[in-house]
A and B are shown apart, each in its own frame.
Chain A
């Protein structure tokens, strides 16, 4: 089936550790995105990528890093510099920036 796969679904990490969230899509979409959603809050854009080997900061990029070495993959690293990393992270993709955005199932990150 075509879609966006995020892994893991639930992740626990100790404070001070970096953690990488995986996102893979087989929709042949050029654009990919990472959002953060806190309980009862809307989505906030962390990073987006229009094409391979290119990515741009969103509204809350501090403490996060990404790479886009392959069209299908857009991993997000939550670094120890991120002050409040515990959240629900959503990966998304669209045929290109400006088209309809489709979301993965999300990953819950808890930092203790």
Chain B
């Protein structure tokens, strides 16, 4: 039973355009969400997070939107750059629990120059 789902294994976007990566979750106890970026031969690196008390969090070119009623979050990258090409993982946590992270399978983003 996959509690965090990233249904698009891959996404290609032109440089300068918007990249939108989507994530759905099924566990209503999740109340904190994170996005990680992973380059080949490296470990995942933290990108941005959002608490369930918010519906939007922005950090430079990266914005995460949370729709709790739909159990859906998305990561927007504007404008997309070739260096953004990586695998993006969505992760979720129950703050009232042990703060373990549950990860999605990842979406490979390719930004085409």
Whether chain B is bound by chain A comes out as: no
Question: Could you list which residues of chain A lie within 8 angstroms of chain B, going by C-beta atoms?
Answer: none
B interface residues, Cβ below 8 angstroms from A: none
